[in-house]
Each structure stands twice: as C-alpha cells, then as structure tokens.
A and B are shown apart, each in its own frame.
Chain A
Amino acid sequence: MIELLYEPWPWYLAGPIIGIMVPLLFYIGNKAFGISSSFSHICAACDPAGVEFFKYDWRTGMWNLVFVVGIAIGGYLGGWIFMNPDPIAISDQTTQSLMNLGITDFSGLVPSELFNWNVLGSPTGLIVLVIGGFLVGFGTRYAGGCTSGHAISGLSNLQIASFIAVIGFFIGGLIMTYILLPLIL
C-alpha cells in the first residue's frame, strides 16, 4: 500500500479521482472546479492600473487561492516527500521525437535543460518559461477557462462553449508541437 504513495498511478486510477474533484467542490461550497481564476483574483487583488475587468472583490475568489496553495502543497508531498525516483515511462516514439529536438535529460518530471534558472538567460529558456506562461495566462482568461474549467468541468456539463474551447486548445497545441517547437528548441 505504501508503494502507491511513491509509484506513478495508472491513468485508469488517476482519471476518476480527478473527476471526483467536480462533485467534491460543489459539495463543499457550491464551487465550480477550475484553477485559472486564481490568476484573475491575484490581478484583482493588486490591479495597479485600475482595469475594469478586475474591479471586483477578489476575496470572493479566496477559496480558489486557498485551493491552489493546496495544489502546491500536494505537489510537495507527491513530488518531493514521496518522489518517484524513476524517469517518466513515456512512449518510445515520444522519447525519440524529443531526442530529435535536442532533449537529453529524461530523468525528472520536466527536462532540466529547459526548466532551470540558468536558461532564463537564453532565448529558448525565455520563450518556454516567459512566453509559454504568458500565453497560458492570457489564453485561459480569453477563453474563459483552462483544462480544469473547460475540458473537465465544462465538458462534464456538456457545454458547447467548452467543446469549442477544447478544439482551440488542440489547434494551438498541435501548431506548437509540430510547427513552432522544432523552431524554438
């Protein structure tokens, strides 16, 4: 049983557990499962330029901020305390494709050559970490949700809007994967 805390979980176990987050948050306090709103609440709490979009009481989103702090603590437990020492068992084709792009370190959750403080001085590192992050934050608010809010919460509730958004996620994702990423890395 204790091994389960260290080992990676198979998709057929992890998927249903993630799905449980939807009714769990409704049950705790009538909250729709979503993460990216936390970025908005942080903007609303600071709002240096007095932007209309962020003129609401950010405390209404306090639950979401507490939730993401919890996610970071969960990450600490799952990825530090109970760290899986083995590399991620991705498929051979993916490993080969990524080696062709110049990725060499497959030992962690993310490739260390792209995710460390030193790469911030390089164009590649800046593009991945800064532009990547910017696009995630800009795109998710523009689309009105991210993977949790649209793909999981929205599709669970059979929302056409979320279906369109998820198609968008894949349009962007495939353009990046097949066209832009080979130019960036």
Chain B
Amino acid sequence: MKLSDYILYLLSGVFFGFVLVKSEVVSWFRIQEMFRFDDIHMYGIIGLAILVGMISIQIIKKTNAKDKDGNPITIPPKDPSQVKRYLIGGSLFGLGWALLGACPGPLFALLGTGISVMIIPILAAILGTYTYGFIRDYLPH
C-alpha cells in the first residue's frame, strides 16, 4: 500500500474520531440514554448513518463504481446462516457496550480525549478478542 493511502486512512480516522466526540457518541451517558429509550439522539445518528450508507451502497452497486485507483468496489456479504454466533456474540457485545458505555471506535476516541484509563478497556478488549480466537472451536456458531 502506498504511503499516500495510509495518510488518507489516517485522516479519515481523524475525521471520524472528531465526529464521534462532537456527536457525543463516545459518551457513556448517551449510551445509557439510548438503552433507556429516553431520547432520539443515538437512534437519529445511527439511523441517518445507515440511511446515507444504504443510499451510497445502492449507488455504488448500480453504477459499478470504482475506487480511486480504478479497481471495482466489492462489498462483501455476511454469512446469514450462522444465526447463533450473531445472536450470542451480539448479546455478549451488548452486555459490554451498555456496561462500558463505549463500543470499539469510541474507546480509541476517548483515549485521545485524554482519559488515559481507557487503555485498560482497550487492552481488555484485545484480550477478549484473543480469548475468542483461542476457544472459538468450542463455541456454537
């Protein structure tokens, strides 16, 4: 990969991290509010993000759009047959999301805002990921 591509991914991340903070998606309080259905804030953000993503993907598919280097864009499907993994894995993720008040993107953004203790849940998440890889053959998928 070219250095210029890395710079583009870095800048995309900077932009996304900035928006995550400004939209307060990184806030533990906003996640608590979402799971209590007390305000439209998080639902409005996720809903509109999906709407824009959906329209974009439709346009990409209809026009056979290419990426900036001229390669055809391929949008990988997710295997719908593994219901157990999505339901059980998703529920475990949800338990963590509501407890920690942050999903992976916000964890990195919060670390950047100066809350240094966020390195602990990031390391714990890496350990969780590693543990999954270690025992995945014994889990229902």
A51 to B135, CA, bound (A): 9
CB-defined contacts of B19 to chain A, threshold 8 Å: 9, 14, 17-18, 74, 78
Query: Are B44 and A15 in contact, CB atoms less than 8 angstroms apart?
Result: yes
In angstroms, Cα B118 to Cα A128, docked, is 11
Within 8 Å of chain B (Cβ to Cβ): is A70?
A: yes
B93 close to A139 (CB less than 8 A): yes
B residues in contact with A94, CB < 8 Å: 29, 32-33, 36, 38-39
Interface: A28 (CB within 8 A): yes
B53 and A80 form a contact (CB under 8 A) = no
* Count of chain B residues near A, Cβ 8 A: 115
* A26 touching B67 in the complex, CB below 8 Å, given contacts A63-B5, A71-B112, A130-B120: yes
Contact A181 B23 (CB under 8 A): no
Q: A14-B23, A72-B112, A80-B113 are in contact. Are A136 and B6 (CB under 8 A)?
A: no
In the complex the two chains form, is B49's CB within 8 Å of A165's CB? no
- The 8 A CB mask of B52-95 against A (1 = contact, 0 = none) is 11101101100001011101011111111011011111111111
Kindly list 9 other residue pairs between chains A and B, CB separation below 8 angstroms, not including A51-B130, A90-B29.
Answer: A73-B112, A75-B20, A76-B112, A128-B100, A130-B121, A137-B129, A147-B105, A164-B83, A173-B35
List 24 A-B pairs, Cβ < 8 Å.
A7-B22, A8-B23, A11-B48, A15-B23, A26-B56, A26-B67, A35-B108, A43-B130, A62-B6, A67-B10, A72-B108, A73-B14, A74-B21, A75-B109, A80-B114, A88-B30, A137-B128, A140-B103, A157-B77, A161-B80, A164-B86, A169-B97, A170-B94, A171-B94
